[in-house]
Amino acid sequence: MFKATLTFTQTKRITLALTMTFAAATLFTACGSDDNSENTQPPETEMSSENQSNIEAIEDTPPSEPEAEVVVEDEPVAELDQTDNTMASEEDVSGTSADTAAQADEPKSEGAQNHVVTAEGLVYNPLVVKINPGDSVSWRNMSTHNSESIDGLIPEGAEKWNSPMSENYQRTFTQEGIYVYKCTPHIGAGMGGVIIVGEPVNLEQIKNADVTGGAGRLVRKAISAAESM
């Protein structure tokens, strides 16, 4: 009987101890949760307060004034320079026009000129040359050729000429009239030419000349050119 009672008492004590242990564990767990909640909440509150302070500080900050727009006005000096350049250009154009008009009004210089006649095969080019008194005639490319005046086919009192064979030659004419010349070795082929100095004062003399062959051909060319003047 005593053993049974002792066993029951021990069992009851164990049960009570287990119950108290469980209760203590539960209480400890609850306290731990409360501690964690208390420890976590303040930072959130503190963070919220800090954010609120920042928001209030932003709201209290006065808006910044817009930057003043800088407007650069055109300098009148540049416009003045452009005006000056335009005026200078107009003056240049006016000056050029005036110079041109002055040059047009001035009489052209009537200085002596040189006219070139070139031997091309058995032909002198040009065949007929019209010049002013005081001008010169130059014969070029005269290989195997010469230039010789024809008797009776130059003005009366004019000086005759006969250039060296195969040499270029130049002569100045001062007396007006028609001059018919030939290439001595090739006159049979009609090689020669006509020079009319100023007015053809001896045209009737040329018309009345009794010539035939190559010289006659040159006379006909001289008459036609003189009559067309």
C-alpha–C-alpha distance, residues 123 and 119, integer Å: 6
Query: What pLDDT, on the 0 to 100 scale, is given for residue 38?
Result: 45
pLDDT digits 0-9 by tens, 139-194 = 999 999 999 999 999 999 999 999 999 999 999 999 999 999 999 999 999 999 99
Read off the pLDDT of residues 86-103 as tens digits, 9 standing for 90 and up.
454 454 544 444 444 444
Amino acid 6 reads L
Q: Which of 181, 167, 175 is nearest to 218 (CA)?
A: 181
pLDDT at residue 20, rounded to an integer? 73
**In this predicted model, what pLDDT tens digit does every residue of 211-229 receive, in sequence order?**
999 999 999 999 999 999 9
Mean pLDDT of the chain, nearest integer: 74
Q: Are 145 and 193 in contact (CB under 8 A)?
A: no
> Under 8 Å CB-to-CB from 32, ≥6 apart: which residues?
none
Strand order in the sheet with 136-140: 123-125, 114-120, 136-140, 169-172
Which residue would you say has higher pLDDT here, 7 or 83? 7
**Which pLDDT score is estimated for 83?**
45
Please tell me the least confidently modeled range out of 33-37, 103-107, 121-125, 133-137. 103-107
Q: What is the pLDDT of residue 198?
A: 98
58-70 average pLDDT score: 49
Residue 42: pLDDT over 60: no
